[in-house]
Structure 1
Amino acid sequence: MEKSVSPAKSGLVYGVLFGVIMVLEFVIMYIIGMRSLVGTSAGLVVNIGNYLVLPILFIYLGCTNYKKNLNNGFVSFGECLKTGVSITFIAALVYGVFNIVFNFIFPEFINEMISISKDDMLKQNPNITSKDMEMGIEMMKKFMNPLIALPATIAMYSFMGLIYSLIVGAIVKNENPQSL
């Protein structure tokens, strides 16, 4: 009997690649300067890429790779879901771990992000009270805590992966008639 590769395992390479691309984007944005990118079209493009284009692209690539190269031209809807969620889970894990390590190496980054957020809050709402400002900053600090940031990143990307896998799975699925 032929040993088959699981759909989740086949998504490993695409998940790591997706995660590395997000890490590289982050590093480039850090080098360029986060303050100069906040509220610009470059920041918007990166967000659209990370939350829409790249996940759909890598899920599509992972599902079609599994279908064409690993499963004799067949892929079920469930296999697409497993592949897509595993890709986004692994990408989020890579990115989340990098983010934690980065914040330990460069602790001033958190303070810079808080300063950028304060300026942005004041720009959006000049009449904000100091109490509301402080409450927003405290919430932001809580979500920068590694014990919250990593699971939240993984959960968010996994959920997005589930939604996008439903869409991609509906497009690329090709059930094996012998398995029905």
Structure 2
Amino acid sequence: MQTENSPLKLALTNGIYYALIVISVQLIIWATAIIEKTGLFSSFFIMFFNLGILIFFLLFCTKKYRDNLLNGTITFGQAFIYGLMIVVFSSIITGLFQYILNRYIDPDYAQRMINAIQEKTYQFMLNNGVPEDQIDQAMVKFDTQTVQTPLQALTDSLKSGVLLGSIISLITSLIVKKNTSDSGYEKAMSELDSQE
């Protein structure tokens, strides 16, 4: 039987919170057509912005879990598994949102993004003096690129979310971990310090 503060329930709750943050950012991007209206590198800025949110969120949630429920100690493995559970739950939710967006709300969205990025790439290459034959080769790659089906986008979103989340969770786990020392020497030294 799971307790009120089980790691699974907390990870699910935090995964939902993180998914809501990501979905909010995606809705703002979609509603404002930021990628379509701005320069080529805006998608990189958005990617780094989302990455920063993920790092902060995993650090915050894992530290809170460590301090409030594990009496201030957490092993690397516990921190990693907890962070990974958050990412898995949020990836499922955001993947489903992407599926709904691409399938029902705006089926042409993915093609518009490809077209916008193609145009931005063309302008960037042209403005930077790239030879015309190289520009043509790049544009042919865009023309042959097919738009993913919503189901393909869902599975790719899940895979990339879990992979990136695993890497970020490894990093945040190294930062947050705080093991207790079972060493007799350390215990004896702390007793000596408390006697002084």
TM over 0.5: yes
Cα 1:13–1:39 shift into 2, 3 Å: same
Q: Give the structure-1-normalised TM-score.
A: 0.80
Change (3 A) 1:148 1:50: same
Two-structure CA RMSD over aligned residues (Å): 2.6
Equivalent residue number for residue 31 of structure 2: 31
How many percent identity over aligned positions?
A: 24
| Distance (whole Å) between structure 2 residues aligned to residue 58 and residue 9 of structure 1 | 17
Unaligned runs of 5+ in 2: 127-131, 183-196
* TM-score (normalizing by structure 2): 0.74
Does residue 1:83 correspond to 2:89, yes or no?
Answer: no
Name the residue aligned to 1:93.
Answer: 92
Structure 1 residues 140 and 11: alpha-carbon distance in aligned structure 2, compared to 1, 3 A threshold: farther
Structure 1 residues without counterparts, runs of 5 or longer: none
Instruction: Give the corresponding residue for 1:62.
Output: 61
Where do 1:1-180 residues align within 5 Å? 5-34=5-34, 35-39=36-40, 43-51=43-51, 53-104=52-103, 105-126=105-126, 127=132, 128-129=135-136, 132-139=138-145, 141=147, 144-177=148-181
1:35-55, Cα deviation, whole Å (9 max, x unpaired): 1134365x444221212x111
Distance of aligned partners of 1:88 and 1:37 in 2 relative to their CA distance in 1, 3 Å threshold: farther
Alignment length, in residue pairs?
172
1:89-110 per-position Cα deviation (integer Å, ceiling 9, x unaligned): 2222222111110112212323
How many angstroms does 1:3 deviate by?
5.2
